[in-house]
Amino acid sequence: MKKILFVVFLSLCLTICVPIGGWTGALEDYEAAKEALNQDKNDEAIRLFTKAIASGELAREQLKTAYKFRGNAWFYKGDYDRAIAEYTKAIEIDPKFAVAYYNRGLAWHIKGDFDKAIAEYTKAIKIDPHYAQAYYNRGTSWRDKGEYDRALADFTNAIQINPFDNEAYINRGNIWFLEKGEYDKAIEDYTKAIEIDPKDAWIYFTRGNIWNAKGDYDRCIADFTKVIEINPNNNLAYLNRGIAWANKGNHDKAIADYTKAIELKPDHLAVYMTYNKRGIAWEKRGDYDKTITDYTQVIKIDPKSAAAYHNRGYVWYLKGDYDKAIADFDRALEIDPSYIEARENLQKALDAKERAKGR
């Protein structure tokens, strides 16, 4: 599930007054390093920050931020140990440097040490109780530890400080939906996130899944339609909208959506499910030949699918082709000898074949 595991917000540039007569050499390097960092030239930024730091000419404020920014450059390069070391140097210069604690927390989180990340975010919050991003990212660490109530509390704190943080609404909604089963609360949060960012297809997608789980297929269809409007190539939106149409009993529209999903991404992992769902829809319409074609595609994708053999066998049974039905039921039972329904339907096919002989 999307979305943002945690928000990386490292580059908080401080305004530096330009001295009369221009910069000293160290400050020139410092400013050039910041510009390089903003342009994603991390190696150049590290070189220039190192030069500025080594000069001994930086004032305390510039020195601590130089270490922090050099830490950011290492962070962006994926060297989190060096980033942590740089943030630690910045904190040694200024133990009240909330951003450095926050950034060090981000690095610990990426390294998978959620306890240390939480400790860092907590320090940042103690220094700055209105640090919304620190609450948010501490929430992601609590969530990744499985401490969902604490995560909810932190996402709520982040929202109270910054009511326009759609990621906080999304992640709080994710917990309500996935971990708590509180669908209405999840919908409320996703709806708020949509108000903040109405072009985020993922939020509509997730809310659509909840409407489906609640059995509100019309709203489900509306949300997946919105996803398709934003991203017409989203095959999963077509698949899920097709499922909603099928749940409403409109198998023609379901088939149209399943077909579009297959056309868009015939090699997608979900194509197995799509062929299977379309096969079911063809069966509901009584078009057994197309049903068999789709179940055959499912078998090609997964030759070990006992369910696909069983389902195709049952359609052969409905068509009166008992030999093919028996063969498919036998194959399903070879794959899964505990498949009770396949065993029962095999017996039905055998009995029907015997009755047909007696006519």
pLDDT tens-digit profile of 87-128?
Answer: 999 999 999 999 999 999 999 999 999 999 999 999 999 999
pLDDT surpasses 80 at 13: no
Distances (CA, A) of 115 to 52, 127, 243, 267: 34, 19, 41, 40
Do residues 295 and 279 lie in contact, with contact meaning Cβ atoms separated by under 8 Å? yes
DSSP secondary structure code for residue 337 in this structure: T
Q: Which residues have C-beta within 8 Å of that of residue 276, sequence separation ≥ 6?
A: 294, 295, 298, 308, 311
Q: How far apart are CA 99 and CA 79, in angstroms?
A: 19
Q: Which domains does the chain have, with CATH numbers?
A: 23-94 (1.25.40.10), 303-359 (1.25.40.10)
Asked whether the predicted pLDDT for residue 22 surpasses 70, the reply is no
Residue whose token pair is 């997964």? 302
Backbone angles phi, psi at 304, to 5 degrees: -100, 15
Task: Kindly report the pTM of this predicted structure.
Answer: 0.83
Backbone angles phi, psi at 24, to 5 degrees: -80, 170
Per residue in 156-196, pLDDT (tens digit) is: 999 999 999 999 999 999 999 999 999 999 999 999 999 99
Q: Give the C-alpha separation, 171 to 231, whole Å.
A: 22
Give the single-character DSSP code of 336: -
Residue 12 has pLDDT above 90, yes or no: no
Please state the rounded mean pLDDT for residues 45-52: 94
- 25 — pLDDT class (breaks 50, 70, 90): confident
Q: What angle do CA 129, 107, 124 make, to 5 degrees?
A: 15
Query: Residue 88: CB partners within 8 Å, gap ≥ 6?
Result: 104
How confident is the model over 136-143, as a mean pLDDT? 98
For range 330-351, the mean pLDDT:
97
Question: Please, what is the average pLDDT of the chain?
Answer: 93
What's the pLDDT score for residue 24? 61
Kind plus residue range of the DSSP H or E element containing 226: helix 217-230
Count Cβ atoms below 10 Å from residue 304 Cβ, excluding itself: 9
